[in-house]
Each structure stands twice: as structure tokens, then as C-alpha cells.
Amino acid sequence: MSKILVTGGTGYIGSHTVVELHNAGYTPVIVDNLSNSSIKMLDQIEKIIGIKPEFHQFDLCDDTKVLEFVKNNPDINGIIHFAASKAVGESVQNPLKYYHNNFFSLINLLEAYREKPINFVFSSSCTVYGEPDYLPVDEAAPVKKATSPYGNTKQIAEEILEETANAYDNFNIIALRYFNPVGAHESALIGELPLGVPQNLLPFITQTAIGKRDKLTVFGNDFDTKDGFCVRDFIHVVDLAKAHVAAIKLLEKGNPKGKYDVFNVGTGNGYSVLEAIKAFEEASGQKLNYVVGPRREGDIVKVYGDVTKSTNELNWKAQLGIFEMMDSAWKWEKYLQENPID
């Protein structure tokens, strides 16, 4: 079975992608330095797929370790590169950490695989669109000046990848621009494991509902949107994981559109924060304690994806709706309450 390197594979999206790669007949090989995840996720993945995935713990910013891994693992056919630092707020406080981690890990990987044919899937983000000029936003939309060092690392990484694919004949690359991944595997054995106070909406909602947080503060409801609340394209993390399998398959087949391509990975539906809260209350049967507070600096008001290209060319379409997203996120939070993973 074709071996796929999954960097960041014990992380939130990586762990779900390891499961879907296995289900699709691939052999995932995880590299992770556990800087933002727990090694216990390997046991959790094993409970789902029946085998513990191959795991190597090291920092991808260490070029010696990366070269050693590549030498000792010659049968890797593809790479899905999740490993990065991803907290927007932290990136503003500590930009050098983000530029160092996100660029050194990427460049070490590309340089290590310079001499062999490699299919490469990259975790990008809809954050590259900024506040889109039109909605739903498609892949032809202009990339806007990043509003955070984190967002800037994604924009520059896309440029590095496009130029690499066009300069060297051994790389075939797809960048996936994720919208807002939420939810958890239906088994409730894997899910999002935010360290400390969650920065993102969904873990804050579920931690509030289970009593770990006193209340959710909604950052503003006076925006120019259908109900005054910000609008997002929430996508179930399992659908997102399956998009990575589709990308690997497209690269293996040979992407007719060339050696570098970009795809939006969302549902194409925009839900407001209030609609997301209501959907959570319906799915969980829990009334959510929330208050409306001041806006959060840098928040995009409205963003949701045009997923036509992904549907037609990536041969992938999101299957799960907002109810499954909220229901699975709640089940995972309840699982964590009984089975803490640190």
C-alpha cells in the first residue's frame, strides 16, 4: 500500500486524515514533534483503524533529522504537510516563532525530496483571501495582504510551492485552502485538542457547554451581515480529511491542470456565529451561555467558499452538515470529560 508521509499527523486535522488515508488503502507514516499534540492520539487512532500508525518524533526544522528520515524511508510516495504553528493571535505576539517554524519545516521537506518524484499536499487557509471582494470566494480571487504573520506564512508558502513545482520536474503539488474546520470523528475517539484557552469558536462553545468555561463571548453582532454576526464556512473535519485523500489521488493520477494547483475546501455555505450557536444548542440539547462583547481585531466579517472547482476537478464534495459538525464536536467534548487526553 502506497506510503504517505503525514507531517503533523497527531494534530487535529492530521489525525483525522491518517484515519481516512488508512480507510482508502494507504499506509500513513506520521512525523510530529508533539509541540501541539499528544502522543496518546496514536492509541486513539489505533482504536479506530485497528493498527497503530508508524510514528517518528522529531522537529521538521531540524534538517539533519529530515534528511535522515528520507534516507531511511525511501518508499514514501506522497506527503501531506500539516505541521505548522497555527494560532493567529500568538503569531502577532511572536512572529519569528511562526516564520521560523512554518518556513524551515516546509523548506527542509522540499529540499530533502528534491531528487525524487513526490506528490505534495499543503495545508493552506482561506485566510489568504482576507475580506473577499466577492462571495462565494473562488480560487481566482486575489490574495489579499495578510492580517497576521500566521496568514503571511500561508501566503508565502503557497508562492514557494508554486515556484518550486514550476522550477523542478520532480514535484507535483496541491494546496488546499481550508475554511473553518470543526467537529470530530463519529467515534468521538479523536477531535480537536486545544492547549489552554481555545482561540477558535467551536472548542470554546463545547468547553462552555460542558462547564469548563463560564460563558462564550461572541465578538460583536453589529456587522453588515444577515443577522449582524460574522459569517463563516464551517466544514466537518472528516470531510476535510477526505479532501486530502482526493488530492493525493488526483496527484497520483496526474493533475491535468499542471504541477501546482489550489482548491477551496469548504461547504460553500455561510453560517453566522449565531446560527452556529443555535445549531449547537439543537444538536447538543444544551442551552449555551453566551454574551455579546466587543469585536475581535482582525476578524473577517463574511467568508464562505465557491467549491465548484473542488467538486469538478478534485472530485470531492463535503457530505456532512452543520448538525453533524456540532453533534460530533459535543460528543468529543463529553468523551474528553470522561477520558482526559493531555
Instruction: Answer yes or no whether residue 200 interacts with ligand WQD by CB under 6 A.
Output: yes
Nearer to ligand WQD, 1 or 197 (CB): 197
Instruction: Answer yes or no whether residue 274 interacts with ligand WQD by CB under 6 A.
Output: no
Helix (H, G, I), strand (E, B) or coil at 83: coil
**Residue 174 β-bridge partners:** 121, 261
Instruction: Please state the φ and ψ torsions of residue 99, each to the nearest 5 degrees.
Output: -65, -40
Instruction: Answer yes or no whether residue 86 interacts with ligand WQD by CB under 6 A.
Output: yes
Q: Each residue of 306-337: b (16+ CB within 10 Å) or e?
A: bbebbeebbebebebebebbbbbbbbbbebbe
Tell me, residue by residue from 112 to 141, as one string, x for binding to ligand NAD by CB under 6 A and - for no binding.
-----------x-x----------------
150 in catalytic set? yes
Q: Which does 94 bind (CB under 5 to 8 A by kind): ligand WQD, ligand NAD, none?
A: none
Q: Cα separation of 101 and 90, whole Å?
A: 13
Scanning 32-40, 158-166, 198-206, 239-247 for contacts with ligand WQD by CB under 6 A, the matching segment is 198-206
Grid coordinates representing 57? 518524533
Scanning 11-19, 159-167, 268-276, 277-285 for contacts with ligand NAD by CB under 6 A, the matching segment is 11-19
DSSP state at residue 141: S
On the 0-12 / 13-18 / 19+ scale of CB atoms within 10 A, 257 is exposed
- Pairing mode of beta strands 271-272, 231-232: antiparallel
Q: Which does 184 bind (CB under 5 to 8 A by kind): ligand NAD, ligand WQD, none?
A: none
Nearer to ligand NAD, 71 or 253 (CB): 71
Instruction: Please state the φ and ψ torsions of residue 248, each to the nearest 5 degrees.
Output: -60, -45
Scanning 31-39, 72-80, 284-292, 316-324 for contacts with ligand NAD by CB under 6 A, the matching segment is 31-39
Q: Cα separation of 248 and 121, whole Å?
A: 7
Instruction: Answer yes or no whether residue 218 interacts with ligand WQD by CB under 6 A.
Output: yes
Helix (H, G, I), strand (E, B) or coil at 164: helix
DSSP state at residue 213: S
Tell me, residue by residue from 44 to 83, as one string, x for binding to ligand NAD by CB under 6 A and - for no binding.
---------------xxx--------------------xx
Q: Which residue ranges make up the site for ligand NAD (CB under 6 A)?
A: 8, 10-14, 32-37, 59-61, 82-84, 86, 101, 105, 123, 125, 178, 181
Q: Which residue ranges make up the site for ligand WQD (CB under 6 A)?
A: 86, 88, 125, 127, 180, 199-201, 204, 216-219, 230, 232, 273, 296, 299
